[in-house]
């Protein structure tokens, strides 16, 4: 059992699906009432959980949450970044890109900057991406692909590329998830250099199309089925060295 798990703001259904599998101690919810409903849903099934207010678009909320977990536990065992938005109504691509990247990339990066330093030795970081983003990078220019696939790219260069418009070939949501995967790989390389003996593993994964608020009730997977891969990554055994900095779907590493 994990002592402490923090999940970026998520839908009630998805929180419960992950929490059941992990025996989760804490969930993070943007809306306090939403988080409490998740706790009550778990309690009805005999599982104890707590909720902490966390909105990754609010830096003060992030820093307050990080300070809370550090003071209460001294560390975070597993961090699952599941926060994301996707537009369901028509809007200009410029508006969608700005808002979507703010949450799905930049706010997630802010979350990681605050929480990775308190991830315990041997801890796990899992970021929820999307399988459809795998082919997106290949549709961009070769120069763009080379920049993102470079193992020498700096954080400043990576963030700079995020702020540029390159005629993205897919939706803002897909593009944001593609860049989240790139951030995962970058952070994994940084951790390997800066904390080489800590055994922390960072990966991105795809849940599949799950019956939550975003895909709707007709999606093929249940929340429990969608939780299989992130739970697998969250509970990689002590001493494991792989996968690290990878994209995983169906518990299998996918070629990037």
Beta bridge partners of 248: 205, 253
Contact between residue 227 and residue 216 where contact means Cβ atoms under 8 Å apart: no
Which residues, 6 or more positions from 231, have their beta carbon under 8 angstroms from its beta carbon?
A: 18, 21, 22
CA-nearest of 184, 181, 165, 161 to 97 is 165
Q: What's the angle, vertex CA 89, arms to CA 61 and CA 160, rounded to 5?
A: 55
173 catalytic per annotation: yes
Which of 68, 73, 173, 232 is catalytic? The answer is 173
Catalytically active residues, by annotation? 173
């Amino acid at each position: 059992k994990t002592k402490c798990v923090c999940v970026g703001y998520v839908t009630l259904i998805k929180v419960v699906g992950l929490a059941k599998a992990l025996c989760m101690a804490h969930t993070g919810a943007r809306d306090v009432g939403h988080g409490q409903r998740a706790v009550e849903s778990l309690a009805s099934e005999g599982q104890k959980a707590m909720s902490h207010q966390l909105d990754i678009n609010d830096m003060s909320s992030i820093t307050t949450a990080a300070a809370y977990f550090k003071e209460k536990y001294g560390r975070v065992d597993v961090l699952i970044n599941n926060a994301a938005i996707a537009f369901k109504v028509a809007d200009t691509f410029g508006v969608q890109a700005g808002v979507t990247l703010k949450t799905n990339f930049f706010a997630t990066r802010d979350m990681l900057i605050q929480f990775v330093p308190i991830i315990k030795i041997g801890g796990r970081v899992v970021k929820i991406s999307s399988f459809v983003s795998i082919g997106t990078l290949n549709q961009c220019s070769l120069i763009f692909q080379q920049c993102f696939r470079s193992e020498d790219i700096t954080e400043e260069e990576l963030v700079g590329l995020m702020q540029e418009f390159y005629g993205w070939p897919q939706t803002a949501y897909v593009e944001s998830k593609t860049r989240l995967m790139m951030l995962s790989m970058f952070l994994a390389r940084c951790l390997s250099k800066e904390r080489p003996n800590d055994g922390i593993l960072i990966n991105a994964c795809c849940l599949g199309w799950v019956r939550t608020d975003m895909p709707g009730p007709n999606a093929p997977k249940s929340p429990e089925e969608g939780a299989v891969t992130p739970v697998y990554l969250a509970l990689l055994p002590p001493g494991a060295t792989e996968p690290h900095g990878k994209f995983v779907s169906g518990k299998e590493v996918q070629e990037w």
